[in-house]
Amino acid sequence: MYAIMGITGQIGGVVARTLLAAKQPVRAIVRDAIKGQAWSDRGCEVALAIIEDRASLATAFREAEGVFVLVPPSFDPLPEFPEAQAIGETLRSALVEANPERVVYLSTIGAQAKQSNLLTQHTIIEKAISGLPIPVTFLRPAWFMENSSWDVAPAMQQGVIPSFLQPLDRPVPMVATADIGKVAAGLLQVAWNGRRVIELEGPYRVTPNEIAATFAKLLDRSVRMEAVPRVSWEALFKSQGMKNPIPRIRMLDGFNEGWIDFERGEVGSQKGTVALETVLKTLIARGH
Ligand SMILES: NC(=O)c1ccc[n+]([C@@H]2O[C@H](COP(=O)([O-])OP(=O)(O)OC[C@H]3O[C@@H](n4cnc5c(N)ncnc54)[C@H](OP(=O)(O)O)[C@@H]3O)[C@@H](O)[C@H]2O)c1
């Protein structure tokens, strides 16, 4: 049986649907019983657990052949990342107690970076669960193509998309969540030993200008990217309610300056198959 966290989200949902399609037993880990009903209707066991609670996680992971661990995104962490430190310790002790056969942890591109930034949260959690006597795969995907859900409204309404990824003609490693979920489901089903890292991106790297051009093609209107000046980011993010925007800014710097990339570079990453156009078509169809 495979226990899946984040099953109501983008990637966990794909992991679970892929396993169910392969007739594999799935335990849906949810924090809301009402959301669990849809998975129960599909034949899944349901376990209630939250990332902050060791006991509920340990129960949810128990007797699993594989556990897919997904930590919810956090864009505005406190300085020094105390939330990630706590999650790392909670996960570590829940995994020790439950002792599943293997774990796939959804990490991120750049988790190996030395410079502090938003992704350091995954660096901290990877470290916390690295030394376990359980085989662990750190699946490190690229920038999600689905992050362009924020681009749909500006593309449709103004034909101008604000971009924090700059320069606009710089290729960025990106991947569709469908590819990530399928790869994770495959990893869970085949045993390995020890700790390993799998880096994953899409079929080719994508520039911000290419995102605009693809929207233009799909919407049949002119669409261009506009770089948001770096000097304005801190005030902008604070005006949007962020308390501690520096980690997010440093993450964007990391992509733009190239120090957030794969440990093994483009040649060493696994490649997905889903193209940007396919993802943008879906985002446009659902309106975001
Ligand atoms: N965006 C990127 O470019 C990128 C790149 C690399 C890695 N990542 C990583 O990918 C992950 C996000 O994946 P995603 O997009 O699939 O997530 P998502 O769609 O935002 O889903 C988040 C999931 O976490 C659940 N959740 C929220 N709070 C929880 C809690 N306290 N305890 C347990 N579960 C909780 C949600 O359940 P509810 O339905 O109950 O809310 C939902 O199932 C993050 O770790 C992020 O750092 C993102």
Given ligand 1 and candidates 106, 126, 179, 279, which is best to mutate, with the most ligand atoms within 8 Å of its CB?
106
Q: What is the pLDDT of residue 273?
A: 98
- CA 184 to chain CA centroid, Å, is 11
Instruction: Determine how many CB atoms are found less than 10 A away from the CB of residue 203.
Output: 15
Q: Whose CA is nearest to atom 21 of ligand 1?
A: 9
Q: 203 and 275 in contact (C-beta within 8 Å)?
A: yes
Per-residue pLDDT, 200: 98
Mean pLDDT, range 268-274, rounded to an integer? 98
Global model pTM greater than 0.95? yes
The average pLDDT across 122-148 equals 97
Class of domain 2-286: alpha beta
Cis peptide leading into residue 245 (ω within 30°): no
- 287 — pLDDT class (breaks 50, 70, 90): confident
Average pLDDT over residues 91-110: 98
Of residues 89, 272, 88, the one with CA closest to residue 185: 272
Ligand 1 atom 47: residue of nearest CA: 73
Each residue's pLDDT tens digit, 52-80:
999 999 999 999 999 999 999 999 999 99
| Model pLDDT, residue 288 | 73
Give ligand 1 pocket residues (Cβ under 6 A).
6-12, 31-32, 35, 50-52, 70-73, 106, 108, 141, 143-144, 147
Q: What is the dihedral of CA 138, 143, 254, 210, to 10 degrees?
A: 150
For residue 109, which amino acid is it?
Answer: I
pLDDT digits (tens, 9 = 90+) for 139-152: 999 999 999 999 99
Q: Which residue has the tokens 């399928």?
A: 182
Residue 160 CA, ligand 1 centroid: distance in Å: 28
* pLDDT > 80? residue 107: yes
In this prediction, what percent of the chain has a pLDDT beyond 90?
99
**What's the distance, CA 75 to chain centroid?**
12
Per-residue model confidence (pLDDT) at position 201: 98
Q: At what angle do helices 82-98 and 120-130 cross, to 10 degrees?
A: 30
Task: Tell me the per-residue pLDDT of 140-197, one tens digit each, with 9 for 90 and over.
Answer: 999 999 999 999 999 999 999 999 999 999 999 999 999 999 999 999 999 999 999 9
Q: What is the DSSP annotation of 213-246?
A: HHHHHHHTS--EEEEPPGGGHHHHHHHTT-S--H
